[in-house]
Homo-oligomer: A and B are copies of this chain.
Amino acid sequence: MSPTLELDHHEEGDAALPGRRERKKRTTRLALKAAALDLVAERGFAHVTVEDIADAVDVSVRTFFNYFPSKEACIVGEDAERIDALRDELLGLPPDVSPLEALRTVFFSRLRAIEEDIDISGEDHEVWLRRFAVLRSQPEVFFAFAKHLAMMERSLTDALVVRLGGEEWRLYASLVTTTVIGVMRVVGTSSATGGGIAAMKKSAEEAFDMLAAGFELRQQNRKARR
């Protein structure tokens, strides 16, 4: 795409990225995710085969499976790097930040990264939002996503256990993680998401406040309102 004339020898671009090989892999990976999303949005999950996706990016089916362990993983945008980044960020926060607060911080930071297209996956925020639209409209994809989130949950729970300093906190850590991820999922797939990432942030804020305050409180608001 970009010319980037040769400097001297066989070097050509962007020293920030490890090399041409890595860059190509990244490009292919992103192209597969984007193509898969487009096709599924258009025809529905069941009517898109792996072959369709591979053809759209002009790689072999076998290569597709070098990039993703399953069709679902590709559509859902599964990314080990991304999960690891989340976990590392969590581990990097000061130890006196509470689990709920820590998860909250990390998720919002991730939302911002995606919004500004500086997410580690290199995924465009437009693609990311489109995925949520598909999630909302296609139950099969939504369920696959739930599965994916369960994997993420595992990783984040482990990190929280480390932060809290011992296995005796695992049950508590699990509860907080599952709850926070549930909230993010609901917010992400709620119809309010029509408003883009900004709307999601707002919804998420409210949901977190509600969580911190306890559900019954909100419930009392409800009663008061009628």
Which chain A residues have a beta carbon within 8 Å of chain B's beta carbons?
98-100, 139, 142-144, 146-147, 149-151, 154, 164, 170-172, 174-176, 178-179, 181-183, 185-187, 190-192, 203, 207, 210-219, 222
Beyond A139-B154, A147-B147, A181-B182, 12 additional pairs, beta carbon < 8 A? A142-B150, A171-B190, A171-B192, A172-B218, A174-B186, A175-B210, A178-B182, A178-B183, A179-B183, A179-B211, A211-B215, A212-B216
The interface centre, meaning the residue of A172, A191, A213 with most chain B CB atoms within 10 A of its CB, is A172
A154 to B, closest residue via Cβ: B139
Q: In the assembled complex, which residues on chain B have CB atoms less than 8 Å from the CB atom of A172? A: 218, 222
A174–B190 CB distance below 8 A: yes
Per the bound structure, the CA–CA distance linking A216 and B210 in Å amounts to: 11
Per the bound structure, the CA–CA distance linking A59 and B179 in Å amounts to: 41
Per the bound structure, the CA–CA distance linking A132 and B183 in Å amounts to: 24
Q: Can you name 19 A-B residue pairings with CB atoms under 8 Å?
A: A98-B222, A100-B219, A143-B151, A146-B149, A170-B190, A171-B186, A171-B187, A172-B218, A175-B182, A175-B183, A175-B210, A176-B215, A178-B182, A179-B183, A179-B211, A179-B215, A211-B214, A212-B216, A213-B214
Q: In the assembled complex, which residues on chain B have CB atoms less than 8 Å from the CB atom of A222? A: 98, 164, 172
Per the bound structure, the CA–CA distance linking A182 and B182 in Å amounts to: 7
Taking the nearest CB of chain B, how far is it from the CB of A9, in angstroms? 47
Q: In the assembled complex, which residues on chain B have CB atoms less than 8 Å from the CB atom of A217? A: 214
Q: In the assembled complex, which residues on chain B have CB atoms less than 8 Å from the CB atom of A174? A: 186, 190
Q: In the assembled complex, which residues on chain B have CB atoms less than 8 Å from the CB atom of A216? A: 98, 100, 212
Per the bound structure, the CA–CA distance linking A202 and B183 in Å amounts to: 25
